Chains A and B, each alone.
Chain A
Amino acid sequence: MNALRVAGLTVSRGAGPVISDVGFELAPGRITALVGPNGAGKTSLLEAVSGVVPATRGSVHIGQTEITKHSRVARARLGLAHIEQGRAVFGGLTVLENLRLTARTRARVDEVLELFPELEKRRDSAAALLSGGEQQMVVLARAFAARPAFLLIDEMSLGLAPVVFTRLLPVITRFAEDGAAILLVEQFTHLALGVAQDAVVVSSGRVTYSGDARTLLDSPDTLHSAYLGET
């Protein structure tokens, strides 16, 4: 299985870089937690990897293929999936229609629905009428249905109660165990680090820690200083 490698990535918006010289690797079967305070540039980083915004410098590779200049659609076809911040459901489509956008077969739709039995009885409702947690399940199920090799998840928990989010985490873990490489951006830092093997901390657009997730979890000082400033 291939890995996704990011090297020297710089993204500029307006005045200056929001991401400077960031590098990391996503390996099959592993979850990487990307953490850091609001405004650190995590979302921009994900957007540059999936092609929503262009990278100013640096490269993104899947295996030996450089995809830095690929279109969003081309990247998706190489197995890259990106779950955007907020609840990116198509509200005017039913749950089933949302899933069929990515599922090749009807059997695949049923498979992902099994992961979220809550959705089964609402399969024909418009996604806009679902609760926030259910919408996020639709988004996850839709991403899984395509069987992506690499999955970037941007703040699933945004506006969700922690209890809903803890319901989603095991499903993500299982998907990684089946061989996907997952990059998890999360404001519930400890929950994310709890399920991840690797961790990357970014602050003001730069990587300030890169390594084992467990180690980071055990050294709260590193985290606190990244979040709350130097005081």
Chain B
Amino acid sequence: MLQGALAGLAAGGLYAVLAVCLTLMSRLVRVVNFAQSATAMFGSYVAVYLAVHIGLPVWLATVVGILLGGALSALLGWVISTWLAEADTGTRSAVTVAVLLLLISLSFILFGNKPQPFQPLLGGPAFEIGGVVVSQVTVVTVGLAVLVALGCRAVLTRTSAGVALRALSERPTTAELLGIPAKPLSVAVWAVTGLISTLMISIVAPSQSNDATSLAMLVVPSAAAALLGGFRRLDLAVIGGLVLGMLQGALAQSDSLSIARYFLPFVVIAGLLLWSQRKEVWDAAR
């Protein structure tokens, strides 16, 4: 069990980072971004293509891929904040569903629907506890998850752009009347979450099932983790991601439990939603 749980920790770190990105997007730009991991998948696939077929050094290809992921995300953000500036979260998120479909299909066309020949950026064991090997990837992803969450919190509380973003998320019209430019700041959030997710996928994908659909659907367990923090709290999102990854890893140890593993994110989502609607709330807007 412990072996499995620790093996699942790398995936957990990935969920955690994606959950932090989803939380940021939901809080700051009013979108549940279903294309969060698909964008990252696309960026990292381009990196693989550049490394394998064009012959770019792996590090350079990876950097290009990460930048592309950020740019794609920024483009999507620009589209949404231009045409759907005043639309509700549902409509804005529906656009990302269409983009999710678009990116998966596009990657099928460009790269085929088989797993990609990723070259590991990190390899080998980092250390051993109790006879269980912990890989370098695990250490780096978990470390990055914590770092990203802390970093985002610091940006939101310490920098003027972060404070402006929080103001925008609370009362967009009031913030604009104070001269805070909504669109550039929103697009920046999209770009940054795109960069972070692509970076994480590039690190973890070599050691995961990395076909386009699997990578794009990482948004499901990540959403489950983000839901633990109510799409508001970064710390709970990180914890949710790590725990979910470990649970899945533990369940993967036994063949008879594998279906339970598939349904775990769904069960977590359903359970958290049931829990969070104990109290009745009437939103003034609707």
Interface residues of A (CB under 8 A from B): 50, 52, 71-73, 76-77, 81-82, 84, 88, 90-93, 97-98, 100-102, 142, 146
B174 touches which one: A71, A88, A100, A146 (CB < 8 A)? A88
Interface residues of B in 166-204 (CB under 8 A from A): 166-167, 170-171, 173-182
A52: which B residues are within 8 A, CB to CB? Answer: 173, 177
Q: Are A77 and B174 also in contact (CB < 8 A) when A97-B163, A100-B163, A101-B163 are?
A: no
B272 on interface, CB distance cutoff 8 Å: no
A101 touches which one: B164, B173, B181, B182 (CB < 8 A)? B164
Across the interface, do A81 and B177 meet the contact criterion of CB distance under 8 Å?
A: yes
A84: which B residues are within 8 A, CB to CB? Answer: 173-174, 177
Across the interface, do A93 and B167 meet the contact criterion of CB distance under 8 Å?
A: yes
A146: which B residues are within 8 A, CB to CB? Answer: 178-179
Across the interface, do B170 and A101 meet the contact criterion of CB distance under 8 Å?
A: no
For chain B, give the interface size range: 10 to 19
List 8 A-B pairs, minimum CB-CB distance, nearest first. Answer: A76-B179, A72-B176, A88-B174, A90-B167, A82-B177, A90-B170, A97-B163, A73-B181
Across the interface, do A88 and B171 meet the contact criterion of CB distance under 8 Å?
A: yes
A90 touches which one: B174, B179, B181 (CB < 8 A)? B174
B160 on interface, CB distance cutoff 8 Å: yes
A72 touches which one: B167, B170, B177 (CB < 8 A)? B177
Q: Are A92 and B166 also in contact (CB < 8 A) when A84-B173, A100-B160 are?
A: yes
Query: In the assembly, what is the distance between CA of A71 and CA of B180, in Å?
Result: 11
B178: which A residues are within 8 A, CB to CB? Answer: 76, 81, 101-102, 142, 146
Q: Are A101 and B180 also in contact (CB < 8 A) when A88-B171, A90-B171, A92-B170 are?
A: yes
B170: which A residues are within 8 A, CB to CB? Answer: 90-93
* Shortest Cβ distance from residue A21 to the other chain B in the assembled complex, whole angstroms: 25
Query: In the assembly, what is the distance between CA of A77 and CA of B180, in Å?
Result: 9
A–B Cβ pairs within 8 angstroms, 23 of them: A52-B173, A72-B177, A73-B182, A76-B176, A76-B178, A76-B179, A81-B178, A82-B177, A84-B174, A84-B177, A88-B171, A90-B166, A90-B167, A90-B171, A92-B166, A98-B167, A100-B163, A101-B163, A101-B164, A101-B167, A101-B175, A102-B178, A142-B178
Interface residues of B in 140-178 (CB under 8 A from A): 160, 163-164, 166-167, 170-171, 173-178
